[in-house]
Amino acid sequence: MTASTIAAIATPPGSGGIGIIKISGKRSLEIAAALFRKSKAGGPAQSAKNDVVKNPGFLSHRLYHGHIVDPRNGNVVDEVLLSWMRAPHSYTGEDVVEINSHSGTLLMQHVLNLVLQQGAELAGPGEFSKRAFLNGRMDLTRAEAVNDLICAESASALKIAAAQLSGKLGERIQRMRSVLISLLSDVYASLDFGDEIEGPENRTAAAARLQAEVLNPLAKLVQDHHELGYLRSGIDIVIAGAPNVGKSTLMNRLAGGDRCIVSAQPGTTRDVIEQRIMIKGLSVRLSDTAGLHESSDPVETIGVAKAWQKIPGADLVLILIDASRELNDWDVRLFERITACGVRALLVVNKIDIETPPFRKSLRGLENSLPRVEISARNGQHIELLEEEIVGQVTDGRIPDASQKIVPGLRHKHILEKTRGACQDALRGMQNQEWTEIIAADLEAALRNLGEITGEHYNEEAIDALFSRFCIGK
Ligand SMILES: Nc1nc2c(ncn2[C@@H]2O[C@H](COP(=O)(O)OP(=O)(O)OP(=O)(O)O)[C@@H](O)[C@H]2O)c(=O)[nH]1
Ligand SMILES: [Mg+2]
**Digit-coded pLDDT (tens) for 363-398:** 988 889 999 999 999 999 999 999 999 999 988 777
Q: Whose CA is nearest to atom 8 of ligand 1?
A: 246
Q: What spacing in Å lies between the alpha carbon of 340 and ligand 1's midpoint? A: 26
**Pairwise CA distance, residues 287 & 317, whole Å:** 10
pLDDT attached to residue 92: 96
Nearest atom in ligand 1 to 350's CA:
31
Alpha-carbon separation of residue 400 from 40, 60, 131, 282 (angstroms): 54, 43, 35, 11
Architecture of the domain defined by 6-137: 2-Layer Sandwich (3.30)
CA distance 170 to 454: 6
Q: What residues have their beta carbon closer than 5 A to ion ligand 2?
A: 247-248, 268-269
Pocket residue to mutate for ligand 1, from 248, 249, 352, most atoms within 8 A of Cβ = 249
Q: Distance (Å, rounded) from C-alpha 440 to C-alpha 417?
A: 19
Question: Do 281 and 156 meet the contact criterion of CB atoms below 8 Å apart?
Answer: yes
Ligand nearest 291 Cα, by number? 1
pLDDT value for 435: 84
Please name which of 178, 158, 175, 185 lies closest in space to residue 220, comparing C-alpha atoms: 175
Q: What is the pTM of this model?
A: 0.80
Q: Out of 117-126, 131-140, 196-205, which region has the weakest mean confidence (pLDDT)?
A: 196-205
- φ/ψ region of 74 (left if φ > 0, alpha if ψ in -120 to 50, else beta) reads left
Q: What's the pLDDT at 310?
A: 97
Which is higher by pLDDT, 54 or 269? 269
Give pLDDT tens digits for 231-273. 998 999 999 999 999 999 999 999 998 999 999 999 999 999 9
**Alpha helix (H) ranges present in 166-199?**
168-193, 195-198
Q: Order of strands, edge to edge, in the sheet holding 63-69?
A: 36-38, 63-69, 76-85, 96-103, 16-24, 6-9, 121-122
Residue 355, classified by CB atoms within 10 Å of its CB into exposed (0-12), middle (13-18) or buried (19+), is middle
Query: Atom 2, ligand 1: which residue's CA is nearest?
Result: 351
53 — pLDDT class (breaks 50, 70, 90): very low
Calpha distance 286→237 (Å, rounded): 5
Please check the confidence at residue 192 and state whether its pLDDT lies above 80: no
Nearest-angstrom CA–CA distance, 458 and 115:
32
Ligand 2 centroid from CA 364, angstroms: 26
The model's confidence at residue 180, banded by pLDDT at 50, 70 and 90, is very high
Which residues, 6+ apart, have CB-to-CB distance to 313 below 8 Å? 236
CA nearest 83: which of 131, 106, 110, 51? 51
Q: Please state the separation of Cα 269 from the chain's center in Å.
A: 31
First-last CA distance in the chain = 18
Q: Is the pLDDT of residue 188 over 90?
A: no
Closest ligand 1 atom to 320 CA: 19
- Nearest Cα to 5, choosing from 103, 90, 107? 90
The predicted pLDDT at position 55 comes to: 57
Query: Residues 51-56: what's their mean pLDDT?
Result: 50
Ligand 1 atom closest to the CA of 242, numbered from 1: 25
- Residue 146: per-residue pLDDT: 92
- pLDDT band at 46, cuts 50/70/90? very low
Q: At what angle do helices 383-394 and 247-255 cross, to 10 degrees?
A: 80
- Secondary structure of residue 325 in the 3-state scheme: coil
Please list every protein residue whose CB sits less than 6 Å from any atom of ligand 1. Answer: 243-249, 262-264, 266-269, 291, 350-351, 353-354, 376-378
CATH superfamily entry for domain 149-230+409-455: tRNA modification GTPase MnmE domain 2 (1.20.120.430)
- Please report which confidence band the pLDDT of residue 2 belongs to, taking 50, 70 and 90 as the band edges: low
* Distance separating alpha carbons of residues 390 and 374, to the nearest angstrom: 13
For residue 281, name the pLDDT band (cuts at 50, 70, 90).
Answer: confident
Taking CA atoms only, the protein residue closest to ligand 1 atom 26 is: 264
pLDDT above 70 (res 277)? yes
pLDDT at 44 over 50: no
Pocket test for ligand 1, best of 378, 382, 385, 386 (most atoms within 8 A of CB): 378
Ligand 2 center from residue 253 Cα (angstroms): 13
pLDDT of 200 reads 62
pLDDT at 160: 94
Span 70-88, pLDDT tens digits: 999 999 999 999 999 999 9
Question: Ligand 1: which atom is nearest the Cα of residue 269?
Answer: 23
- Return the domain boundaries, the chain: 6-137, 149-230+409-455, 241-394
How remote is the CA of residue 208 from the centroid of ligand 2, in Å? 57
Helix count and strand count (H, E) for the chain:
18, 13
Determine whether domain 241-394 maps to CATH 3.40.980.10.
no
**CA count, 13 A, side-chain hemisphere, 193:** 10
Closest ligand 1 atom to the C-alpha of 261? Answer: 16
* Average pLDDT score over residue span 146-153: 90
Alpha-carbon gap, residue 456 to 442, rounded angstroms: 18
CA distances from 244 to 49, 261, 269, 316 (A): 76, 12, 9, 21
The mean per-residue pLDDT over the stretch 422-447 comes to 93
Whether the Cβ atoms of residue 406 and residue 221 lie closer than 8 Å to each other: yes
State the helix-helix crossing angle for 436-454 and 140-151, rounded to 10 degrees: 40
DSSP state of 264: S
Cα–Cα distance between 298 and 267 in angstroms, integer?
12
Q: What average pLDDT does this structure show over 405-416? A: 95
Query: In angstroms, what is the span from residue 366 Cα to ligand 2's centroid?
Result: 23
CA distance 231 to 225: 10
